[in-house]
A = this chain, B = another copy of it.
């Protein structure tokens, strides 16, 4: 952790806050390559002052990231305390995605852990994982999230969602996509057999059947007469073919 400078002096603390805020904005708007002097300028401070607080640009970046995580942690704890498990979990994920939207660059950092192993040891990172894990497990106990999902899956999913938001210009459409993606976590979601990927053999397959006409997956219906087609259209089409032959 960065040694906090002048922890006892009000102005120093205010300066630190200004820097973090300015850095957050700057990274969001101009990417991680934004010059440090630009951050200092936004904060209304000198470059030297920034260095007094953060010995390295890297350190500043980590601090911004940590602050971001802390906000998410607070959000997660609030939701855990106030909502039922399912709402808490999904609400938290939406929070994470939404709040990270303007900070995709931070996600780059998370994604590229090879180049940045240290922050993974940070207290905030650990606490974030704890909160996430607790919410996840609660939701799983409540039956609203598939049992075969782990915290890492959730993190990866949210990272992906942030990317989606970033690449989908239409705001509303982006949100719908995120919704769609997060709902993949629900138990009803069907996982197509994973034969496409060349080298991932051991993916457990749910018991899926497919439309006899269009090969679309059919919902599981343990009882009753099994469906053969995904809908009226396919049934009709199959019929036509049968008659033709």
Q: Using Cβ atoms and an 8 Å threshold, which residues of chain B touch A107?
A: 163, 167
Given contacts A189-B189, A216-B188, contact A164 B173 (CB under 8 A): no
Contact A87 B203 (CB under 8 A): yes
Q: Using Cβ atoms and an 8 Å threshold, which residues of chain B touch A33?
A: 33
Alpha-carbon distance between A192 and B182 when the two chains are bound, in angstroms: 9
Contact B177 A153 (CB under 8 A): yes
**Residue from B160, B194, B218 in contact with A176 in the complex, judged by beta carbons closer than 8 Å:** B194
Q: Render A205-245 as a binary contact track against B, CB cut-off 8 A, 1 for contact.
A: 00010010111111110110000001111100000000000
| Stretch in A16-24, A61-69, A78-86 touching the partner | A78-86
Judged by a CB distance under 8 angstroms, whether A11 is at the interface is no
Alpha-carbon distance between A110 and B182 when the two chains are bound, in angstroms: 23
Q: Using Cβ atoms and an 8 Å threshold, which residues of chain B touch A215?
A: 84, 86-87, 142-144, 190
Dominant SS at the A interface? helix
Closest to A82 in B: B201
**Residue from B94, B153, B175, B186 in contact with A173 in the complex, judged by beta carbons closer than 8 Å:** B153
Using a Cβ–Cβ cut-off of 8 Å, how many residues does chain A contribute to the interface with B?
A: 89
Given contacts A168-B152, A183-B192, A184-B183, contact A201 B83 (CB under 8 A): yes
Contact B174 A180 (CB under 8 A): no
Contact A91 B175 (CB under 8 A): no
**Residue from B167, B171, B177, B208 in contact with A188 in the complex, judged by beta carbons closer than 8 Å:** B208
Given contacts A91-B203, A156-B167, contact A143 B192 (CB under 8 A): no
**Residue from B84, B188, B197 in contact with A217 in the complex, judged by beta carbons closer than 8 Å:** B188
**Residue from B90, B216, B234 in contact with A186 in the complex, judged by beta carbons closer than 8 Å:** B216
Q: Using Cβ atoms and an 8 Å threshold, which residues of chain B touch A39?
A: none
Closest to A154 in B: B177
Which of A112, A150, A214: most chain B Cβ within 10 A? A214
Residues of A within 8 A of B (CB): 31, 33, 79, 82-87, 90-91, 94, 98, 104, 107-108, 110-113, 142-144, 150, 152-153, 155-157, 159-192, 194, 196-203, 208, 211, 213-220, 222-223, 230-234
4 new A-B pairs (CB below 8 Å) besides A159-B166, A188-B219? A82-B201, A156-B168, A157-B181, A188-B190
